[in-house]
Structure 1
């Protein structure tokens, strides 16, 4: 999971740097292509600019939002990448065959029916699933008695449940902070818009800066909500799925520990 986040973050950073370099190089190429235009009077140039329409892309809005605005955009893009990685990770790992695989249940039940506790523990180790770790916690305490087994299983079950829910809770964090980041970007855009409105003379330059600042504010809110809404929906989706799987895992654990007592495997447990 950490490797996925690091790779996605590095790719996003490289993309932002490349876009920024391209955005800076494109305006610089225009004066080099036509040096004679620099000597022309300022008034005709201003009139030509006022009469035309300046192309304003999303990329230009991002990189003309100032250092603070660029920091907000990097945080929003980073949050969206982390959100995407968490969603992919949850779809892959929060499944019944990952948490409580049926093959593990069959192997453990078969081992217990044969009175072979070592085989049951080996099956738990090989599975690598949360259910396997919970059952192993009980199997390794069979010599202490059935009540100790139940306590060990209960503690291990709580730990695995908290681990699974904590994994999903990061989506809730993202769904809460991204609208706030978008709101900060909106406030910053409005501040810059009114500041330029009060300090610059009326004209095409003032209108251009006003449009850029307002667009920055609205886009920041839109991106923040665009990340927050799916993250919030999928958080509750994965939370409910996790709760359902945890309850099913606890029921399986209870059944297996009961069969452990009925089979009296405690007396046949291996040494070491």
Structure 2
């Protein structure tokens, strides 16, 4: 019986949320920065010289500002974001491409083909029982992650049960690592995007304050600061817009991989007992003919022992060493 689950399941169950905490910390820093600079701007606009009347905005100016606010679109924000929007745009394209690639690669029909699962189940329930030759042919007929794991198990048929389970565990880890490869890149992009956005915002604010110090005496510093910080925060927004969907997609794919491999474990749990009676009787030999790999299963039968405890040449019978594994 299959006494232990694959170690890859434990790796998935103890998923590391450190990259999510980094993204949350970046967002919190950006929000605190926004509150701080907003408070400074509010204080500057509220200050007025003693005895100087506060000018009332004209209706035409108010209408113009409202029209400018309504014309603010995503495209205009991207164009105002500066050069830092270029790497963010590249990251967004990569995330979209990897998302579609993993969406098709993690379909159940490609990981656990229904026909392979059904025919292996029929072979297991047949009167003759599980035939390693037929099972190997089925795995070659339906190439998939399940087929690769079953083939790795079949190549250890006849060896001790613990060795068979170890081969299954290693094959499962290899397949899980292969399927999880591009998901790691999506998680990485989701962690890097807000950091790039925050760096663009910090650089924009630094540049804005520098330009403010270069203004002439009496110039409107509040408007200069507001316009500079408004543009600088665009990169933070762009990084969050990329990071949030990327994290959601990565988590979805991770959960899907865990679900598929749990189902694969259940299938292997039913298959392995069908090969227990081959222990010590069956060996797998590999032969390669012109780059074509074939696997032959041969039955190992013990040599016949002559009557009287003697060998064919008349000498005394000696204990025969166990045939080495091939």
Interval containing the TM-score (normalised by the shorter chain): 0.5 to 0.7
Give the Å deviation of 1:102.
Answer: 2.1
Matched, 1:130 2:162: no
Q: Does 1:234 align with 2:234?
A: no
Instruction: Show the counterpart of 1:271.
Output: 296
Q: Deviations over 1:12-34 (max 9, x none)?
A: xxxxxxxxxxxxxxxxxxxxxxx
Change (3 A) 1:102 1:188: same
| Match for residue 103 of structure 1 among 115, 118, 130 | 115
For 1:56 and 1:81, the matched residues in 2 are separated by 23
CA distance in 2, matches of 1:107, 1:167: 31
Cα 1:148–1:185, aligned 2, differ >3 Å: closer, same or farther?
same
Alignment of 1:187 with 2:202, yes or no, is: yes
Offset, 1:258: 1.6
Taking a change above 3 Å as real, the CA distance of residues 202 and 255 of structure 1, as seen in their structure-2 partners, is farther
CA distance in 2, matches of 1:268, 1:109: 23
* Structure showing the higher helix proportion among its residues: 1
2:162 corresponds to 1:147:
yes
Q: 1:213 to 1:125 in 2, by over 3 A?
A: farther
Gaps of 5+ in 2: 1-63, 285-294, 298-326
SS state of the match for residue 144, structure 1? coil
For 1:218, what is the secondary structure of its paired residue? helix
**Which one of the candidate residues 226, 241, 266 is aligned to 1:251?**
266
Let me know the Cα RMSD of the aligned residues: 3.4
Q: 1:202 to 1:228 in 2, by over 3 A?
A: farther
Alpha carbons 1:193, 1:209 under 8 Å: kept: yes
Does the 8 Å contact 1:116/1:268 carry over to 2?
A: no
Q: Which runs of 5+ in 1 are unaligned?
A: 1-51
Return closer, same or farther for 1:149/1:260 CA change in 2, 3 Å cut-off. same
By percentage of residues, which structure has more strand?
A: 2
* Larger deviation, residues 86-95 vs 73-82: 86-95
TM-score by length of 2: 0.56
Moved more, 159-168 or 169-178: 159-168
Contact residue 159 and residue 279 of structure 2 kept, 8 A: no
Cα separation, partners in 2 of 1:268 and 1:152, compared to 1, 3 Å: closer
Q: Name the stretch that deviates more: 205-214 or 82-91.
A: 205-214
Which of 191, 200, 208 is the aligned partner of 1:176? 191
Q: Which has the larger radius of gyration?
A: 2
Secondary structure of 2:296's aligned partner = coil
The aligned runs of 1:1-272 (5 Å cut-off) are 69-70=82-83, 72-111=84-123, 113=126, 114=128, 115-201=130-216, 213-261=228-276, 267=282, 271=296
Shift of 1:163: 2.7
